[in-house]
């Protein structure tokens, strides 16, 4: 007879909050790079046009995304073999190290090409960290939450992810008020990375006091009772196990494709779009982005709770239809407006639609896989898709703008949203597929 840990409501809530705060800190560190790229791009790269320098920083941003599949594989497999908690502790340690390296790295004027190399190394480490963080934290939140409110609690995955970006903007706004533009460009941009490293150490402390999920503990009890020791397979064997679920893997790729591209278009790239295309100042773009993200946070638990009532598929369809029909006209209007309130309203509308994907992304993916392969199954196909489409969003957009065909990017986002819409239309409802999650 196997036994599992049954968490009382307070203990379960404490673990969910601790995991969520750690996720927030991780994503703050990740997004601080994008938020402050406008300031440190000239420090790490030779003088040139603003668009050229942003292209260089966007390229390193994209390379960091390319490490996310490796992180998803290594840390996802680690989480499935050694526990969700252990993997979450490792991911936050890696993020702290990457942030410290960026904070301390000398500029191009001091050490030449070594400077962008150090920046690249830091982003590679952070890429491994967030690659493992997503799948593991999505699994942890989904397994910790009860079935009745699983969509609501799992929405905290993107609530804290967006909260990390919002926190990066708060720090940016504060520094813009305290420092001159010259000071921000010279040394002030390093401050957010120091803050991020220190916050990561605080998150590490919180995660040491989290409980392990009952689903994983039951799985381990089953493994321990197996005299052949199956279930503690090496990485290649775990990958082969994952390949036994091709439909689930392809579903993760399909439902992520349009969602991740739309998300990065209307969050991280939107701030640069407001400056580089719409003509707002850096400070105006930061304030608009801050207000938009603050409102968008509220959409996550709202739509997550709705999915607990009506199912995941209708919420995904709302995103797919809205993004397919609305992306081109919305970006056209945003490019032409010089009114801050109108720009904010357009981005809020865009992020409400995108929240049909972000609010339930974690729980849908977790509900597709059994316990023994859940963290790897959620993380790896997601990370591969994000690396190819989400991580390159800024670069593709800036490349199109530099070559005078910016509107091609609008249609690119629309096409990817349409592909995801087809997946949502054909996929089965996952809410009833509780898999091996233990209440």
In terms of pLDDT, which residue wins out, 199 or 354? 354
**Average of pLDDT values for 162-178?**
86
| pLDDT tens digits, one per residue of 203-228 | 888 888 777 777 777 777 766 665 55
Q: What pLDDT is stored for residue 435 in this prediction?
A: 45
Q: 155 lies in a domain?
A: yes
For residue 43 the two structure tokens come to 């420090």
Lowest-confidence pick of 11-15, 39-43, 149-153, 158-162: 11-15
| pLDDT tens digits, one per residue of 25-69 | 878 887 788 778 778 877 877 666 566 666 667 677 667 777 888
Lowest-confidence pick of 50-64, 141-155, 331-345, 402-416: 50-64
| pLDDT > 80? residue 294 | yes
Q: What pLDDT is stored for residue 234 in this prediction?
A: 57
Structural domain of 353: 9-224+243-426
- Could you give the percent of the chain with pLDDT greater than 90? 23
Q: 437 lies in a domain?
A: no
Q: 390 lies in a domain?
A: yes
| pLDDT > 80? residue 362 | yes
- What is the value of pTM for the model shown? 0.78
Q: What pLDDT is stored for residue 425 in this prediction?
A: 92
| pLDDT tens digits, one per residue of 87-113 | 888 988 888 888 889 888 888 778 877
Q: What pLDDT is stored for residue 339 in this prediction?
A: 93
Average pLDDT, the chain: 82
On whether the CB atoms of residues 145 and 16 are closer than 8 A, the answer is yes
Q: What pLDDT is stored for residue 355 in this prediction?
A: 95
| pLDDT > 50? residue 438 | no
Three-state SS at 228: coil
Lowest-confidence pick of 193-207, 224-238, 271-285, 354-368: 224-238
Q: What pLDDT is stored for residue 259 in this prediction?
A: 93
Q: What pLDDT is stored for residue 388 in this prediction?
A: 85
Q: 438 lies in a domain?
A: no
| pLDDT > 80? residue 375 | yes
The Cα 181–Cα 178 span in angstroms is 10
The Cα 23–Cα 40 span in angstroms is 25
Q: 177 lies in a domain?
A: yes
| pLDDT tens digits, one per residue of 299-353 | 999 999 999 898 899 999 999 999 999 999 999 999 999 999 999 999 999 999 9
Q: What is the chain's length? A: 439
Quick one: pLDDT band at residue 139, thresholds 50, 70, 90? confident
Q: What pLDDT is stored for residue 173 in this prediction?
A: 83
Q: 211 lies in a domain?
A: yes
Q: What pLDDT is stored for residue 61 in this prediction?
A: 67
Tokens 């603003």, located at residue: 50
| pLDDT > 60? residue 142 | yes
* Nearest Cα to Cα of residue 138 among 361, 392, 422: 361
Other CB atoms within a 10 A radius of the CB of residue 106 amount to: 13
Q: What pLDDT is stored for residue 114 in this prediction?
A: 83
The Cα 176–Cα 39 span in angstroms is 11
Quote the number of domains for the chain: 1
Q: What pLDDT is stored for residue 419 in this prediction?
A: 96
Instruction: Pick from 48-57, 126-135, 176-185, 254-263 the range whose average pLDDT is largest.
Output: 254-263
For residue 260 the two structure tokens come to 């991740």
On whether the CB atoms of residues 63 and 209 are closer than 8 A, the answer is no
Q: 3 lies in a domain?
A: no
| pLDDT > 70? residue 123 | yes
On whether the CB atoms of residues 5 and 214 are closer than 8 A, the answer is yes
The enclosing domain of 268 has a CATH number of 1.20.1250.20
The Cα 156–Cα 137 span in angstroms is 10
| pLDDT > 80? residue 262 | yes
Q: 119 lies in a domain?
A: yes
| pLDDT > 80? residue 202 | yes
């Amino acid at each position: 007879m196997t036994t599992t840990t049954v968490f009382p409501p307070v203990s379960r809530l404490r673990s969910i909050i601790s995991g969520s705060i750690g996720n927030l800190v991780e994503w703050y560190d990740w997004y601080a790079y994008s938020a402050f790229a406008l300031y440190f791009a000239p420090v790490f790269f030779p003088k040139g046009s603003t668009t050229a320098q942003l292209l260089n920083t966007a390229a390193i941003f994209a390379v960091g995304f390319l490490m996310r599949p490796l992180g998803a594989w290594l840390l996802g497999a680690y989480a499935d073999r050694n526990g969700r908690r252990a993997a979450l502790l490792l991911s936050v340690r890696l993020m702290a190290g990457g942030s410290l390296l960026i904070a301390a790295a000398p500029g191009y004027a001091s050490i030449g090409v070594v400077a962008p190399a150090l920046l690249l190394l830091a982003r590679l480490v952070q890429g491994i960290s967030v690659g493992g963080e997503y799948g593991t934290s999505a699994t942890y939140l989904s397994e910790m939450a009860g079935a009745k409110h699983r969509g609501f609690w799992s929405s905290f995955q993107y609530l804290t992810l967006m909260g990390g970006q919002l926190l990066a903007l708060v720090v940016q706004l504060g520094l813009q008020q305290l420092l001159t533009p010259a000071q921000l460009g010279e040394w002030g941009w390093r401050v957010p990375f120091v803050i991020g490293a220190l916050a990561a150490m605080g998150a590490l402390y919180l995660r040491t006091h989290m409980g392990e999920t009952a689903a994983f503990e039951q799985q381990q009890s089953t493994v321990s009772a197996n005299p052949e020791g199956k279930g503690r397979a090496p990485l290649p064997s775990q990958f082969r196990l994952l390949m036994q679920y091709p439909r689930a893997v392809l579903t993760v790729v399909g439902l992520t494709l349009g969602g991740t591209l739309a998300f990065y278009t209307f969050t991280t790239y939107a701030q640069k779009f407001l400056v580089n295309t719409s003509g707002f100042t850096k400070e105006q773009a930061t304030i608009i982005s801050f207000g938009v993200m603050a409102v968008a946070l509220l959409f996550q638990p709202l739509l997550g709770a709705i999915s607990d009532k009506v199912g995941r598929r209708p919420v995904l369809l709302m995103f797919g239809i809205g993004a397919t029909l609305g992306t081109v006209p919305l970006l056209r209007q945003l490019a032409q407006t010089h009114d801050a309130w109108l720009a904010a309203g357009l981005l809020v509308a865009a992020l409400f639609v995108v929240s049909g994907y972000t609010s339930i992304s974690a729980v849908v993916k977790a509900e597709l896989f059994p316990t023994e392969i859940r963290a790897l199954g959620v993380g790896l196909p997601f990370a591969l898709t994000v690396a190819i489409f989400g991580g390159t969003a800024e670069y593709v957009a800036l490349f199109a703008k530099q070559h005078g065909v910016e509107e091609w990017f609008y249609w690119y986002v629309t096409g990817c949203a349409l592909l995801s819409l087809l997946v949502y239309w054909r996929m089965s409802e996952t809410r009833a597929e509780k898999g091996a999650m233990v209440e």
